[in-house]
Chain A
Amino acid sequence: EVQLVESGGGLVQPGGSLRLSCAASGFTFSSYWMSWVRQAPGKGLEWVANIKQDGSEKYYVDSVKGRFTISRDNAKNSLYLQMNSLRAEDTAVYYCAREGSTMIVVPPGGYYYYMDVWGKGTTVTVSS
């Protein structure tokens, strides 16, 4: 069974740090881009960061640049999100998601990308 399981969430004070983990199983983890997506209480979805299969490319939403670091360990089938200088507005459920892709066969070609497997999420609360 294809599965993603997040862990590491909790209550942290503003300015503090937290490291989230995502354990993947049931698929070849090293073959996929992976993303973190978050959802603040009662709000919509916000893409946070992603990382290429070999870790050579990483991208972040502007609001977390310089504070969050995404990484992965393909030997352990694991994805991570190191979160520093946390703020109240970082309070959210954090989801790990696999980025699937499908080749576009008509010109100009390329790929469609989407998030086809999601974990159940881990809750991060930033509060004093």
Chain B
Amino acid sequence: GNSVTQMEGPVTLSEEAFLTINCTYTATGYPSLFWYVQYPGEGLQLLLKATKADDKGSNKGFEATYRKETTSFHLEKGSVQVSDSAVYFCALISGYSTLTFGKGTMLLVSP
């Protein structure tokens, strides 16, 4: 079956630090990969996606590259802001499945 593994949180950073949140997956077929973000008190929002190997998704300064050889989709941002504090979810969909989410990684950014 499909599964997503994310690094445990919380990840605590100072403003302007570099961010990496690791995500690896197991899937049948050729999955599409996603990062969702959940700000406090809100539902999840799609942050970025990649649909095939070597694709790079990007949005709001965040990037993630679909690495088939390592079955990974790590989220990166060069300089985080306090407003980036949220929970980040890696997810995949494959074939006729529904979305499979990781457990989420909380990011806390201090001024």
Q: Do A and B bind each other?
A: no
Binding site for A on B (CB under 8 A): none
